Homo-oligomer: A and B are copies of this chain.
Amino acid sequence: MKSDIDRFMQESDIDALLIVGSARHNAAMTYFTGIVHVSDGYVLKKRNHEPILFHFPMERDEAARTDMQIKNLEDYDSAKLLKKAEGNRVLARAMRLKQIFDEFAVKGRVSIYGIGDVGAFYGLFQTTKDLIAEVELVVEPRTSSVLSRARITKDEEEVARIRKMGEVTTEVVAETAQFLSSHKAKHGHLVNGDGDVLTIGEVKRQINYWLAQRGAENTEGTIFAIGADAGVPHSTGVDDQPVEIGKPIVFDIFPSEDGGGYFFDLTRTWCLAYAPDHVSQIYQDVFDVYQKVYAALEPGKLCTDFQKLTCELFEARNHPTVLNTPGTEIGYVHSIAHGLGLDIHEAPRFRQEEGNEDILQPGSVITVEPGLYYPEQGLGVRIENTVWVRPDGKLETLANYAMDLILPIKS
């Protein structure tokens, strides 16, 4: 949580955090600023000091809305700096950083964060390094950085915001189900009252429309993948294809607050009208594993323990998994869970790999998402909920939605 930051900085011997870029779609920045229209700037946080937001003059009112200490970057006279740097914009920006560090007495190890042009910032940081002897620019390992450790647990306000996104998400999933169910089948796919074929693209457009109506945003897109496409976890579905009946549809929806705030993540697998037996069996396997893993989840254990458990449960039902068939593209091919918050994927990690020692902690918000994939058999199945590990150690699903496989349609 935010309240841990100074302690973590102390533990990691970090003297200041420097976060660059926009306050939108930039989790490390938004974590401090909230969602405001500050399209470029810095957040500087010294250990045991309040963070300061550096902004450009046209965005001064937006910056002021953060209630943070703010500082206008034009105070450093960029035209003058650029002239001094003989038109070298990178050098001018490094010189401005030097002025900032001098003014605010920043010394020692400064850890850098933020989303931006990785080339431009590589240039800026290299130049800054050479220009400012008193400061060491530090890249903390992303899996154990101060902000990753802080963000791995959520405070009440954060959980409330994720929960609210869960309401929005399940409402939109309900709208989607109702919309699909209002269609009839013809030649194996959905058609509307006029006989027009319903395409995946149209469903996705409607989803964005229902999300926008509720003040949510869908920058990462939606997965609505049918049959063989559903058999590849991140295939998103092909827009101009018809919505087919009797085939599994993996519907994975992960919207956020408008402007790049907190996410929610939910997946259902639906068969429209009916489900073939082999799909129902696979579905049952995924559902059973979901229930067992959910029941087993408890804080204090290694996250990878739950991934191992998931693999073992699937293997006991004769599905290949990444545990004993590394690199498999059939069976169970991904991780059981991931943390989520201001990023759709954040700590903790559940993947079994060298160096992953993440512990499941009270206060984390994670997904639980077992799945099975057999693209050659034209199928994939995944079930996913977003779950809060409460401070008391109990689990709470942050938004509930029916888990039925079959979605009836108009007859």
Contact = CB atoms under 8 A, between A and B. Distances in A.
Nearest to A328: B57
Contacts of A140: 119
Interface residues of A, number: 78
Interface string A318-349: 00000000110100011000000000000000
B236 A37 contact: yes
Contact of A139 (B85, B111, B114, B120): B120
Contact of A90 (B121, B141, B238): B141
Interface string A29-65: 0000000010100000000000000001111111001
Interface in A59-102: 59-62, 65, 74, 77-79, 82-83, 85-90
A294 interface: no
Interface stretch (A187-195, A227-235, A264-272, A397-405): A227-235
Closest 8 CB pairs of A and B: A87-B355, A123-B139, A118-B121, A208-B212, A212-B212, A112-B119, A58-B234, A87-B354
15 contacts: A24-B220, A37-B223, A37-B234, A57-B329, A57-B333, A58-B232, A59-B235, A61-B232, A79-B353, A88-B141, A90-B139, A113-B118, A121-B122, A208-B258, A219-B219
Interface of A: 20-21, 24-25, 37, 39, 56-62, 65, 74, 77-79, 82-83, 85-90, 111-123, 125-126, 137, 139-143, 205, 208-209, 211-213, 215, 217-221, 223, 229, 232-236, 238, 258-260, 326-327, 329, 333-334, 353-355
